[in-house]
């Protein structure tokens, strides 16, 4: 049951036309979407059962990390309702994202789920193409291990990848195309993490009907060749089909039912959200 916030973060991750694979950075534009001061709140639920809240924020101030200007991005998640009775969870993920190159300079996570604890700091050295990973004790005050790993150019962490997605030029992407990028997570470099672009769709939300871009991270099977997810495209990510491209919804289809993560409030956007106007009936 541990690491329940991971699907929200990693899973960040056709027509008759033959799909093609496209590196993220071939579709990347200069930052047009990310806005300091953003504050998004999401509700996690399984059917009618509420399970938690997720909050994504960007600090209003620009921070200097590794001598680079960075956005400070935080993602927190906690269990609520019935889930809280069975599992007390409070997780915190963070990334310092370079404002110019849109690659992470620093990543951290603090996982508290029941009796399970994990506190980690990851420092990216893009010049040397390595990351330094420090594991801390349960209090987060003392380093208990330190390791170095090789990385690729333009590597992302599981928080920063969301914000790179928001700056991709989807006018050049066709249904069925696969977007690729290297991702470093949990001491592993995923050289070619893939996300398929599925379609455009208007969905109902608490904020009104929203135009969205629908993507499906290609979820690998585990070592037994099985998956808890329900087949192909079992995880769908809905980004607003506008200049913001914020996550509106995530739907994770399980073998029985589905977990959904829905945007319930947002502020600090750079542009108006793509709410579809409906006709009034007299």
Q: What is the pLDDT of residues 57-84, one digit of tens each?
A: 999 999 999 999 999 999 999 988 777 7
Domain 21-267 bears CATH identifier 2.40.360: yes
- What pLDDT score was predicted for residue 88? 85
DSSP H or E stretch at residue 267: strand 258-267
Predicted confidence (pLDDT) at residue 124 exceeds the cutoff of 50: yes
Residue 178's pLDDT band (boundaries 50, 70, 90)?
A: very high
Looking at 22-36, 81-95, 248-262, which range is the least confident one? 22-36
In the numeric block, which tokens belong to residue 35? Answer: 């806005």
Among 244, 256, 235, residue whose Cα is nearest residue 6: 235
- What pLDDT score was predicted for residue 230? 46
Residue 258's pLDDT band (boundaries 50, 70, 90)?
A: confident
- Report how far Cα 241 is from the mean position of its chain's Cα atoms: 17
- What pLDDT score was predicted for residue 228? 42
Cβ–Cβ < 8 Å for 245, 239: yes
DSSP assignment string, 71-109? EEEEEEEEE-HHHHHH--EEEEEEEEEETTT--EEEEEE
Cβ–Cβ < 8 Å for 264, 50: no
């Amino acid at each position: 049951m541990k690491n329940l916030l991971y699907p929200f973060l990693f899973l960040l991750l056709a027509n008759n036309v033959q799909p093609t694979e496209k590196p993220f950075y071939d579709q990347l534009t200069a930052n047009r979407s990310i806005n300091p001061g953003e504050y998004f709140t999401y509700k996690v639920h399984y059917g009618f059962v509420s399970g938690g809240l997720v909050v994504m924020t960007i600090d209003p101030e620009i921070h200097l990390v590794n001598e680079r200007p960075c956005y400070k991005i935080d993602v927190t998640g906690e269990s609520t309702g019935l889930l809280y009775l069975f599992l007390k969870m409070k997780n915190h993920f963070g990334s310092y994202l370079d404002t110019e190159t849109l690659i992470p300079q620093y990543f951290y996570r603090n996982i508290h789920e029941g009796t399970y604890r994990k506190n980690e700091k990851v420092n990216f050295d893009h010049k040397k193409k390595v990351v330094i990973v420090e594991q801390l004790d349960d209090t987060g005050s003392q380093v208990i291990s330190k390791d170095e790993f090789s990385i690729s150019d333009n590597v992302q962490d599981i928080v920063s990848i969301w914000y790179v997605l928001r700056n991709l030029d989807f006018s050049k992407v066709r249904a069925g195309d696969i977007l690729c990028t290297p991702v470093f997570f949990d001491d592993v470099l995923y050289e070619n993490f893939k996300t398929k672009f599925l379609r455009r769709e208007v969905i109902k939300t608490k904020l009104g009907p929203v135009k969205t871009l629908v993507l499906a991270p290609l979820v690998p099977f585990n070592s037994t060749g099985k998956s808890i997810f329900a087949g192909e495209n079992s995880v769908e990510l809905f980004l607003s089909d506008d200049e913001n491209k914020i996550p509106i919804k995530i739907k994770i289809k399980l073998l029985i039912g589905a977990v959904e993560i829905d945007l319930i409030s947002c502020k600090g956007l750079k542009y108006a959200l793509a709410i579809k106007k409906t006709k009034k009936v007299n």
